[in-house]
Structure 1
């Protein structure tokens, strides 16, 4: 299977981006970058306090992810980013035109349960509603796939690999 230039694993908090991203990168044989590591400290402080980020907070974060993706063009890579709005994905594509999205989707109750049981993450479950309110799913003209997050991480990763393989050759 040929590898997309860069895969952005996206979705609301709790869908498993940090779990699936490295597994997907390993399957594709490319490096993984944790999107949360690109957040400025001010963003982390806001989210830790239960305050949703606004677009002005997100632009520098998205630019940093886009810069990483641009540097991986032609080499491949996987990076996690919520990329909830079309405008956020457009900004990533402006910096790295070859990116492909894997949108992790799932039942709100399942996602909330997973968030409630994870440890050491700054995103509280209280912000999940704001995440769903902000979410704009991939549109038909966006190169990417939607992958259900039910099942084990290995099952989800396998579904992602299979879905990516269905994309036109130009996207891979």
Structure 2
């Protein structure tokens, strides 16, 4: 089978394989103090993945090198994003901050079937703090983007 190099998504290609990654310094996020290392991983959601949730490109970042983003996609049955993160370390990782560059209405810890398990606290409509991710553990987060605020910002520009 020949790899797809055209940039077009093959019919059976997973959205999680369409993520692009780059390394850059953490931006200032205002009054929230979030510990970040000198470099962080930036994940960009391609427009075609997020088109039903919000127009344009959405960026997130997290502050721990041991945490890998394994999937970022639109939720199957709701107007939300699903973010799956994996702790690749052989020890638990504490105080993981996940920051979004678009406002968040609500966030939930979910299972693989995308059923809500626990509501998460959202700080300043942009930051989720996860107390602890167990070693070799996959977390599924369901994120509801505040589209009204984002649309108002786009209209003001």
What TM-score, normalized to structure 2? 0.29
If you compute each CA radius of gyration, which structure gives the higher value, 1 or 2? 2
What TM-score, normalized to structure 1? 0.27
Greater share of residues in helix:
1
- Which one has more relative contact order, counting CA pairs under 8 Å at least 6 apart? 1
Greater share of residues in strand:
2
